[in-house]
């Protein structure tokens, strides 16, 4: 699934912009240039259903959260 499909499954450009607290033109750029890694990790944690089966491995989940927090710092 490409990034544009992910954005659509999350509700579209405006919905993703609202979730990420950014402006819709930024999300529109993601359709062309790809979702930035930190934003992708955030969206995966928020909506694992869109990205496939959620992980049940606690270590993997902890690593994803730690990476997201590092990226946000």
Q: pLDDT tens-digit profile of 29-65?
A: 999 999 999 999 999 888 888 988 666 677 877 887 7
pLDDT of residue 56: 67
20: Cα separation from own chain's centroid: 9
pLDDT for 39 equals 95
For the domain made up of 3-72, the CATH class stated in words is mainly alpha
Q: Which residue has the tokens 């590092």?
A: 70
């Amino acid at each position: 699934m490409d990034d544009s499909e992910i954005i659509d499954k999350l509700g579209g450009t405006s919905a993703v912009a609202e979730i990420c607290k950014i402006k819709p033109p930024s999300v529109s750029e993601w359709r062309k240039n790809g979702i930035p890694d930190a934003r992708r990790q955030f969206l995966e944690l928020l909506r694992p259903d869109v990205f496939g089966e959620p992980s049940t491995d606690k270590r993997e989940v902890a690593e994803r959260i730690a990476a997201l927090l590092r990226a946000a710092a």
